Amino acid sequence: MAIMRLGRVQLRCPNWEKSVHYYKNVLGLIETARDENHVYLKAWDERDHHSVILEKADSAGLDHLAFKVENAEDLDYYEKKLIEYGVQEVDRIPAGYRIAEGEAVRFRVPTGQLVELYHEIEVVGNGLPLVNPDPWPDGLVGMAPPRLDHLLIAGDDVEGTSNLFMDVFGFNMAERLVTEEGEEYIATWLFKTNTPHDLAVIKGPQGKVHHVGFWLDDWNEIRKAADLMAKNDVMIDAGPTRHGITRGLTIYFFDPSGNRNEVYTGGYMCYPDSPTVTWTTADIGRGIFYFEGEVNERFTTVFS
């Protein structure tokens, strides 16, 4: 029984038309479907039908995040484990509730976010053949990230959400930020694949999201992304810079609705036997932005 990866996020977008244009033409995701209130998108090297759903809404923020499981039977297994663990809100979402998807299990984590598990989704491919492919398909636009990479969610009970993902789903903790006394988690970076964080959790306003991270292949792509942001009047929050935590290279910026995005590359490989790296608040500036050694106020106070 296994979670394979972060599969999708659904973001609320009050600035609807500009947000759809931005995600398709500036960030460079590919539209695969739409209905009256949603647009379905994928990064170019993802084979499933979608990884990002934009929702027409009155306020910005996260509707839910979802992980893809390896087998359909995993839904029954994890549903039982969640109930036994004491999670109160565990529901089934029927097949066809969203375009191109089968059924899902939905639950709420202690930091307040809705999370889903799913297996069945239409496979549309990445635009390349499975025999003798080129490195990338023609027609890519914008920053063109190859994949959705991670999410940073916020809430009061960082330890509770972190423990749930580790105890129920077998996530591991790559890094953590603790108080000077070491008694309380301020943030954790959790992984199920080989990246330092498939999901991160930070102390903050309940049920909110700090950012959605997309992968780029190298530092040159990060630099090109910064040029595209400047060219298209995208509000940059921080970067280009490097993290001490995860060692990744990064830029943070906002979509037209106020949801923070990140493009990210680098970092290091993680394995189940990798030790957890601990950071304390005394060195948090260098941990978050290694070059600058300090964090701007907006980065620590703005969530959606």
Q: Report the alpha-carbon angle 89-170-48, nearest 5.
A: 75
What secondary structure does DSSP assign to 120-140, as a single string? -B-B---SS-SSS--SS-TT-
Of residues 38, 64, 210, 211, which has the active-site annotation?
A: 211
21 a catalytic residue:
no
- Judged on CB neighbours under 10 Å (0-12, 13-18, 19+), 202 is buried
Candidates 197, 210, 221, 264; catalytic one: 197
| 197 flagged as catalytic | yes
Quick one: three-class SS letters along 56-71?
A: ECCCCEEEEEEEEECC
E strand or H helix at 222: helix 219-231
Instruction: State the catalytic residue, choosing from 49, 50, 210, 243.
Output: 243
Q: What are phi and psi of 76, to 5 degrees?
A: -65, -45
Q: Are 240 and 251 in contact (CB under 8 A)?
A: yes
Classified as helix, coil or strand, 177 is: strand
Which of 4, 87, 1, 9 lies closest to 255 in space, CA to CA?
9
Annotated active-site residue 50? The verdict is: no
Quote the CA–CA distance of 119 and 1 in Å, as a whole number.
12
Catalytic residue selected from 40, 78, 185, 252:
252
Neighbours of 35 (CB within 10 A): 10
Cα 14 to chain centroid distance, Å, stands at 20
Query: Is 150 marked active-site?
Result: yes
User: Catalytic site residue 101?
Assistant: no
Q: Of the listed 50, 119, 150, 210, which one is catalytic?
A: 150
Check if 243 is active-site. yes
User: Is 213 in a helix, a strand, or coil?
Assistant: strand
Nearest to residue 245, comparing CAs of 204, 200, 208? 200
Residue positions annotated with a catalytic role: 150, 197, 211, 243, 252, 262
